[in-house]
A and B are shown apart, each in its own frame.
Chain A
Amino acid sequence: MILVVLENQRGKIHPFSVESVVAGQKIAKSLNQPLSILCVGDNIDPIHESAKQFDCSELILASHPLLKTYSADGFSKIIVDLIKSYSPKYCIFGHSYMVRDYVPRVSANLSIPFISDITSINLSSQNIQFSKQVFNAKLSSRIENESTNGCLLSFQSAAFSADELIKGAPEKVTNFEVQLSDSDIRSTTEEEFQESSSGVDLSTAELIVSVGRGIDNQDNIPIAEELAKVLGAELASSRPVVDMGWLPPFRQIGSSGQTVSPKLYFALGISGAIQHVVGMKGSKNIIAINKDEEAPIFEIADYAVIGDLLEIAPLLTEELRKR
């Protein structure tokens, strides 16, 4: 069987999980295997309701009060137990922060591989091949599973489109008896919280000028600010710029920041690592300036400007001011 694990994100199925159901449906069909979908957590009724609309052989419910708050100990133990009793050929997840936190534990515990952060698959080769980005997204690699005892997979956002989800209903619903005690969970967890975003909601911005490592140093930030100002755009950035303290965290785009889809995303000196790209690939138009002709941002850009942003951006600002 093929097993897909749904993540409960504050009462809703995590969007990456929906895409991983699409992956599961395709793999199950290709291998002629039954597909089971797992709802795991404490209060799983809301995600169970949504999952009832997915075409699959079986919906498995695994609920326990100790799963109310997430813990790597608790969640990895449940998945280990489930894999032991169901022996799925592939166990599939969305590549979320939670999955990154506990699924390697399952891999080490059961000595089965975890192929993570997959961006596409090739089902027509003799062994299924999984592709992921490597070397700062400058290259991709094809990976094959070597284990006969099952394999864990996680799919990066947009590896599959939720539009391709096959709707239907599970043939049966099964309750999985969860064995979990207080002593299994070593960590104590506090409430999740959001830090003040100071009211900048980049997700509604029509125009964004975004700045990356290529801006070189903090003294050059005004170059991006000036261009944003003359275009009437919001200023944003990639992670390294925030890490170095050149711009505040609420300006950050990417998996750990905001997700945007503006009419124009003007990327200045952004290399295009996947963690950034997941936050902006929905942009209608992307202009990227980078002096590295091989920067992966150019693979998703509509306009690839190869050159020095420190020269081009000030000149562009000056020309725009004249208008």
Chain B
Amino acid sequence: MKIAVLTKAIPSYESLIRIDTSSKWIDDSIVNYVINESDAYALEEALKIRESLADNSEVVVVSMGPEDKCSKIIKDGLAKGADRAILIDSQEKISDPLSIATLISDCIKDEQFDLVFSGLQSDDLGSGQVGVLLGEKLKMSTATLAIETQIEPSAIRVKRELESGWFQWLTLPLPASISIQSGINNPRYPSLKGIMGARNKEVAKLNSNQFSNNKLQSMVELYIPSNEKQTKKIEGDSKSVVSRILEVLKNDLRIIQ
């Protein structure tokens, strides 16, 4: 079984997000890039499947973006146990999900993957589409929001999360592209041995300029959302903050006496 895991480098939760002078992107210089959270769950699911099969199955980390941002998360993926990686170096800030999926498809179609795993959504632009778009491009069956997986002979059985606490099992023939919901497993940390071993693993570097890129939707501007409510700010030392909250609970909301 050959499994590709799509992983994206995104700004960490703690990073300061500031719009840059072009107003079309954020100021990258003050941002710490980390692996997208649900992609880490997708990688763990792929590693678990490879371990359960105990054959010559292979897990390949695929990452697209500027090399300096991707290489850290690729190294981390290899240290956790992925067998090799494909880095699609793209300096351009592509926000159109179909362009992204087309580029990835062009780069990996010859690999003939049995499974493509991706996180359900990236926490930067968050289109939540690339896994499914790529599946359609590669003529795979697709499913999203998987919260449990079971490998069957030439098929995968997936428990999908529906809305409001509903679930559904479905079985897809391989090849399949599946987006993974966060919380499906407990992602591992790289071991020291894994970190040492990662140095010798193959990272194939492709340049996205070699492929066509026809944009169908464009992000024209980033902006700071306006406040929907007349929010009252409460700040200061903890003690004064607490007495202010008590006043609110008592006088404004009448929740306490």
- Which residues of A are found within 8 Å of B124, using beta-carbon distances? 134-135
A144/B217 in contact, CB under 8 A: yes
Expressed in whole angstroms, the minimum distance between the Cβ of A142 and any Cβ of chain B is 5
A134/B13 in contact, CB under 8 A: no
A305/B162 in contact, CB under 8 A: no
A302/B231 in contact, CB under 8 A: yes
A194/B165 in contact, CB under 8 A: yes
B98/A107 in contact, CB under 8 A: yes
Q: Is the interface of B mostly helix, strand, loop or mixed?
A: mixed
Assembled-state Cα–Cα distance A213/B181 (Å): 17
B238/A312 in contact, CB under 8 A: yes
B204 in the interface, Cβ–Cβ < 8 Å? Answer: no
Expressed in whole angstroms, the minimum distance between the Cβ of A145 and any Cβ of chain B is 6
- Which residues of B are found within 8 Å of A213, using beta-carbon distances? 13
A113 in the interface, Cβ–Cβ < 8 Å? Answer: yes
Given contacts A72-B142, A108-B101, contact A138 B17 (CB under 8 A): yes
**Among the listed stretches B59-67, B71-79, B126-134, B191-199, which one makes contact with chain A, having 4 or more residues with CB under 8 Å of it?**
B126-134
- Which one of A187, A259, A305 lies within 8 Å of B241 (CB-CB)? A305
- Which one of B217, B231, B245 lies within 8 Å of A301 (CB-CB)? B231
- Which residues of B are found within 8 Å of A300, using beta-carbon distances? 228-229
Cβ < 8 Å to A, chain B residues 145-177: 145, 160-173
Cβ < 8 Å to A, chain B residues 29-43: 37
B107 in the interface, Cβ–Cβ < 8 Å? Answer: no
- Which one of B13, B173, B227 lies within 8 Å of A186 (CB-CB)? B173
- Which one of A112, A240, A315 lies within 8 Å of B216 (CB-CB)? A112
- Which residues of B are found within 8 Å of A71, using beta-carbon distances? 170
A192/B225 in contact, CB under 8 A: no
B235 in the interface, Cβ–Cβ < 8 Å? Answer: yes
Assembled-state Cα–Cα distance A72/B235 (Å): 49
- Which one of A101, A107, A240 lies within 8 Å of B143 (CB-CB)? A101
Question: When each residue 239-251 of chain B gets 1 if its CB lies under 8 Å from chain A and 0 otherwise, what string results?
Answer: 1011101101100
Expressed in whole angstroms, the minimum distance between the Cβ of A205 and any Cβ of chain B is 13
Assembled-state Cα–Cα distance A137/B125 (Å): 10
B17/A104 in contact, CB under 8 A: no
A189 in the interface, Cβ–Cβ < 8 Å? Answer: yes
- Interface residues on chain B, size class: 35 or more
Given contacts A299-B227, A299-B228, contact A305 B245 (CB under 8 A): yes
Expressed in whole angstroms, the minimum distance between the Cβ of B117 and any Cβ of chain A is 16
Expressed in whole angstroms, the minimum distance between the Cβ of A155 and any Cβ of chain B is 14
Question: When each residue 244-260 of chain A gets 1 if its CB lies under 8 Å from chain B and 0 otherwise, what string results?
Answer: 11000110000111110
- Which residues of A are found within 8 Å of B256, using beta-carbon distances? 231, 320, 323
- Which residues of B are found within 8 Å of A107, using beta-carbon distances? 97-98, 129, 133, 136
B163/A304 in contact, CB under 8 A: no
Question: When each residue 227-245 of chain A gets 1 if its CB lies under 8 Å from chain B and 0 otherwise, what string results?
Answer: 0000100000001101111
Assembled-state Cα–Cα distance A255/B181 (Å): 13
B132/A187 in contact, CB under 8 A: no
B234/A305 in contact, CB under 8 A: yes
Assembled-state Cα–Cα distance A251/B213 (Å): 44
Cβ < 8 Å to A, chain B residues 179-221: 181-183, 186, 215-221
A316 in the interface, Cβ–Cβ < 8 Å? Answer: yes
Expressed in whole angstroms, the minimum distance between the Cβ of A47 and any Cβ of chain B is 17
A87 in the interface, Cβ–Cβ < 8 Å? Answer: no
Cβ < 8 Å to B, chain A residues 149-194: 151, 186-194
Residue of A nearest to B41 (CB): A243
- Which residues of B are found within 8 Å of A285, using beta-carbon distances? 252-253
B7 in the interface, Cβ–Cβ < 8 Å? Answer: no
B162/A301 in contact, CB under 8 A: no
- Which one of A97, A129, A144, A195 lies within 8 Å of B163 (CB-CB)? A97
Assembled-state Cα–Cα distance A307/B235 (Å): 7
Assembled-state Cα–Cα distance A197/B165 (Å): 8
Given contacts A107-B129, A302-B229, contact A101 B145 (CB under 8 A): yes
Given contacts A107-B133, A144-B220, A188-B171, contact A304 B232 (CB under 8 A): yes
Expressed in whole angstroms, the minimum distance between the Cβ of B14 and any Cβ of chain A is 8
A190/B169 in contact, CB under 8 A: yes
Expressed in whole angstroms, the minimum distance between the Cβ of A92 and any Cβ of chain B is 15
A240/B97 in contact, CB under 8 A: no
Residue of B nearest to A306 (CB): B235
Given contacts A104-B133, A114-B98, contact A192 B217 (CB under 8 A): no
Expressed in whole angstroms, the minimum distance between the Cβ of A187 and any Cβ of chain B is 5
9 further A-B pairs in the complex, CB-CB below 8 A; given A133-B225, A187-B171:
A107-B129, A108-B132, A116-B128, A146-B217, A197-B165, A240-B37, A240-B182, A256-B165, A312-B238
Cross-chain pairs A/B with CB under 8 angstroms, 30 sampled: A72-B141, A76-B136, A102-B132, A104-B132, A104-B136, A116-B127, A135-B11, A136-B17, A137-B225, A143-B219, A145-B217, A147-B216, A188-B171, A190-B169, A193-B166, A194-B165, A197-B165, A231-B256, A243-B182, A256-B163, A256-B165, A264-B249, A296-B225, A299-B225, A302-B229, A304-B233, A306-B233, A307-B235, A319-B243, A320-B256
8 interchain residue pairs of minimum CB distance: A243-B183, A108-B136, A104-B132, A113-B216, A113-B217, A104-B129, A190-B169, A306-B235
